[in-house]
């Protein structure tokens, strides 16, 4: 089976999946120059023993830098790569100070501050663009047995948002006693949904881990990835919260330190390959079948050691590299695996958006991150069942090519609006001429919507408001608006046809409070609706009857529309869209 190919002058490569007999035939084929195995990726062992003396202490971030708050086991604020970026550290546990007694919080803090720590080490440049804050809510055992964590998280958000205006909170915790069973959401998830709306903040939450003891080591490898879909491997509280971003884990490395050192020794076998789901990651969906996790990011991998029948889990060399709380003993970096370490990658990206656009709200942060997510090809190849893939990877891994700003062949349009109940909003989307040019190449339109409704844990429907979108075409605004206003029944609305080819249909995506779909076009012919009609995104609000008196008269939402034509370097999408929008403004001014 052919999985991928590269065809260019002087180089033709195919990646194929084959059995032993087929591999023998390839080896003997006269037209095949080289047969190679898939690449293996390993962490450079030299990175983890980097001496602090080899790195310059970073300058403090700018005074205007946005803050990212890590709610965890505290922070080792004296770490040489963190100390000048730490704005404040507080403990919300009685009898414990803000210092990290476990190391978990400090490891997460480095990822939240710098994102890809390995890249920073290799470049020799640590430049904090964000301010780092720490709220301790876990004890030295990474547990919380003092008071109620719901109360402590609320106190932390009130403090850091009120004192410093922080909008991004990383919460890499999961209650192993509370996997989602398909019923009402638990207390911490409900609390996060309330706080997201009340304070206008973004929580980035890890999906939760499956412990290594859950299976025998050989079963981990031999039955991967099927066991990830098991009913008991659902999300842990609070990853089920609707108004947050939940993050699952991908493997970055597939070579342990030992397998790198002894390249001919097959004893240590990775469970996942690069960009495949981590073997310990958990799956969605959440309440009412809403898509969760929305995103995935690197969080580590496991291997098994098969030598002598030992069959045990190996983690060395497969984790995410970050700042080590025990730096005083000479190791400023450490590595660890878990969905805990995938979440701060997303928190970092959210903070970077705020460096460029400090005025945007938390719904816009969610919209922008999800709009720029793509399911890795390695996941698509591994998991061919689309439902299973959606439950594990959601909308995918964030690509940051144009996350912060538009470029000529990747353009982002953004709106922050408020909508009354039982109403529609109509957005006509200008299609740039270069997007429609002939030729076979991949181009995309992505639409993403986010809002933060009132929630009630006693209600099966959970969210009071329902806001969703459809991407449609029509000859003009009048006819499109008539089509939607005539759809007074639920069935009539659901039957309004979207533009064909959505990656995720409206009935599936609208269960959540962040909703996204991508339309991909290899060729746009003369009969295409994109050429012959106008393009509209229609936002609709239709609250549950019980939510009418507790929701706002006009509920806020954020809408992101992206045009991408990456294979056409000559495309001038940004210039053309800008000209079309300016022409509209001038026309309105004349009216």
CATH number where 462 lies: 2.60.120.380
Query: Residue 294 pLDDT more than 70?
Result: yes
154 shares a domain with 92? yes
Average pLDDT value for residue range 72-93: 96
Collapsing DSSP states into helix, strand and coil, what is residue 29?
coil
pLDDT of 299 > 70? The answer is yes
Lowest mean pLDDT among 190-194, 288-292, 456-460, 472-476: 456-460
Residue 74 belongs to a domain: yes
The fraction of the chain above a pLDDT of 90, given in percent, is 78
pTM comes to 0.92
Lowest mean pLDDT among 336-345, 493-502, 578-587: 578-587
| Whether residues 388 and 461 fall in one domain | no
> How many separate domains does the chain show?
3
CATH of the domain at 229: 3.40.50.200
Q: Are residues 356 and 387 in the same domain?
A: yes
Please report, for residues 18, 28, 36, the alpha-carbon distance to residue 33 in angstroms, rounded to integers and kept in the order given. 17, 10, 10
Q: Which two tokens stand for residue 49?
A: 């023993």
Residue 127: band (very low, low, confident or very high) from pLDDT cuts 50, 70, 90:
very high
Q: How confident is the model at residue 39 (pLDDT cuts 50, 70, 90)?
A: low
Dump pLDDT digits (tens) for 415-436: 999 999 999 999 999 999 999 9
Confidence of residue 10 (pLDDT cuts 50, 70, 90): very low
pLDDT (0 to 100) of residue 298: 98
Q: Final residue of a domain: which of 371, 398, 425?
A: 398
Q: What is the average pLDDT across 310-317?
A: 87
Closest of 281, 242, 507, 254 to residue 392, by C-alpha: 281
Is residue 46 a part of any domain in this protein?
no
Domain membership of residue 44 (yes or no) is no
Confidence of residue 8 (pLDDT cuts 50, 70, 90): very low
Closest CA to 90 of 102, 108, 103, 105: 105
Range from 19-33, 119-133, 334-348 carrying the lowest mean pLDDT:
19-33
DSSP state of 234: B
Instruction: Classify residue 578 as exposed, middle or buried by CB count within 10 Å of its CB (0-12, 13-18, 19+).
Output: middle
Q: In the listed set 376, 398, 420, which residue is the last one of a domain according to the structure?
A: 398
Residues 180 and 235 both lie in one domain? yes
Query: Do residues 186 and 82 share a domain?
Result: yes
pLDDT, position 20? 75
At 452-479, the pLDDT tens digits run 999 998 898 999 999 999 999 999 999 9
d(CA 244, CA 242): 6
- Smallest CA-to-CA distance from 173 within 114, 233, 108 is with 108
pLDDT averaged over every residue in the chain:
92
- Domain range for 436: 410-590
Mean pLDDT, residues 444-454 taken together: 98
pLDDT higher than threshold 50 for residue 9: no
305-335 b/e with 16+ CB inside 10 Å = b?
A: bbeeeeeebbbbbbbbbbbbbebeeeebbbb
Q: Is residue 43 part of a domain?
A: no
Note the pLDDT of residue 291.
98
Q: Tell me, yes or no, whether 404 lies in a domain.
A: no
Quick one: pLDDT band at residue 18, thresholds 50, 70, 90?
confident
Residues 104 and 168 in one domain: yes
- Over range 50-55, report the average pLDDT: 74
Examine the domain organization and report whether 417 and 390 are in the same domain. Answer: no
How many CA atoms lie less than 13 Å away from 492 in the CB half-sphere?
8
Distance CA 16, CA 35 (A): 10
193 with 329, same domain? yes
- What confidence score (pLDDT) does residue 48 get? 72
What would the pLDDT profile of 368-403 be if each residue is shown by its tens digit? 999 999 999 999 999 999 999 999 999 999 999 899
């Amino acid at each position: 089976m052919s999985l991928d190919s590269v065809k260019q002058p002087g180089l033709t490569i195919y990646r194929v999946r084959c059995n032993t007999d087929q591999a023998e035939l390839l080896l003997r084929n006269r037209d095949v120059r080289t047969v190679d195995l898939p690449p293996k990726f390993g962490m450079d062992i030299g990175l983890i023993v980097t001496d602090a003396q080899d790195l310059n202490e970073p300058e403090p971030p700018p005074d205007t830098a946005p803050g990212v708050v890590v709610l965890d086991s505290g922070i080792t604020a004296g770490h040489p790569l963190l100390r000048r970026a730490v704005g404040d550290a507080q403990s919300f546990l009685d009898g414990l100070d803000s210092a990290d007694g476990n190391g978990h919080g400090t490891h997460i803090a480095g990822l939240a501050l710098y994102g890809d720590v390995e890249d920073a080490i290799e470049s020799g440049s640590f430049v904090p663009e964000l301010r780092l804050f720490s709220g301790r809510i876990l004890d030295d055992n990474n547990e919380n047995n003092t008071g109620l964590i719901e109360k402590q998280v609320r106190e932390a958000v009130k403090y850091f948002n009120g004192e410093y205006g922080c909008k991004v909170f990383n919460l890499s915790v999961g209650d192993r006693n509370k996997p989602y069973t398909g019923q009402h959401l638990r207390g911490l998830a409900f609390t996060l949904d309330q706080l997201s709306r009340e304070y206008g903040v973004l929580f980035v939450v890890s999906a939760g881990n499956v412990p290594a003891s859950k299976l025998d080591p050989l079963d981990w490898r031999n039955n991967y990835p099927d066991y990830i879909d098991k009913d008991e491997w659902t999300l842990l509280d609070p990853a089920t919260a609707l108004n947050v971003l939940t993050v699952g884990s991908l493997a970055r490395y597939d070579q342990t330190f030992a397998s790198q050192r002894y390249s001919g020794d097959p004893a240590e076998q990775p469970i996942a390959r690069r960009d495949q789901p981590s073997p310990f990651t958990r799956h969605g969906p959440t309440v009412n079948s809403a898509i969760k996790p929305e995103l995935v990011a690197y969080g580590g991998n496991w291997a098994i050691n098969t030598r002598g029948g030992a069959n045990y889990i190996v983690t060395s060399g497969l984790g995410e590299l970050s700042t080590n709380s025990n730096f005083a003993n000479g190791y400023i970096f450490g590595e660890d695996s878990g969905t805990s370490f995938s979440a701060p990658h997303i928190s970092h990206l959210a903070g970077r958006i705020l460096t460029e656009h400090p005025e945007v709200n938390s719904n816009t942060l969610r919209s922008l991150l999800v709009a720029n997510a793509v399911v890795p090809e390695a996941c698509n190849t591994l998991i061919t069942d689309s439902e299973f893939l959606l439950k594990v990877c959601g909308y995918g891994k964030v690509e940051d090519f144009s996350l912060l700003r538009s470029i000529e062949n990747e353009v982002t349009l953004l709106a922050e609006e408020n909508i009354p109940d039982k109403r529609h909003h109509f957005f006509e989307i200008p299609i740039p001429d270069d997007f429609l040019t002939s030729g076979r190449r991949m181009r995309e339109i992505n639409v993403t919507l986010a809002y933060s409704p009132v929630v009630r844990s006693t209600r099966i429907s959970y969210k009071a408001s329902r806001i969703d979108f459809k991407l449609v075409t029509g000859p003009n605004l009048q006819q499109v608006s008539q089509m939607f206003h005539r759809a007074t029944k639920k069935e009539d609305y659901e039957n309004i046809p979207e533009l064909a080819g959505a990656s995720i249909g409206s009935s599936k995506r609208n269960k959540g409070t962040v909703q996204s779909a991508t339309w991909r076009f290899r060729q746009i012919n003369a009969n295409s609706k994109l050429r012959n009609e106008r393009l509209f995104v229609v936002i609709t609000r239709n609250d549950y009857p019980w939510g009418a008196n507790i929701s706002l008269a006009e509920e806020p939402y954020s809408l992101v529309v992206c045009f991408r034509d990456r294979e056409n370097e000559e495309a001038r999408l940004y210039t053309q869209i800008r000209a079309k929008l300016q022409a509209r403004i001038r026309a309105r001014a004349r009216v």
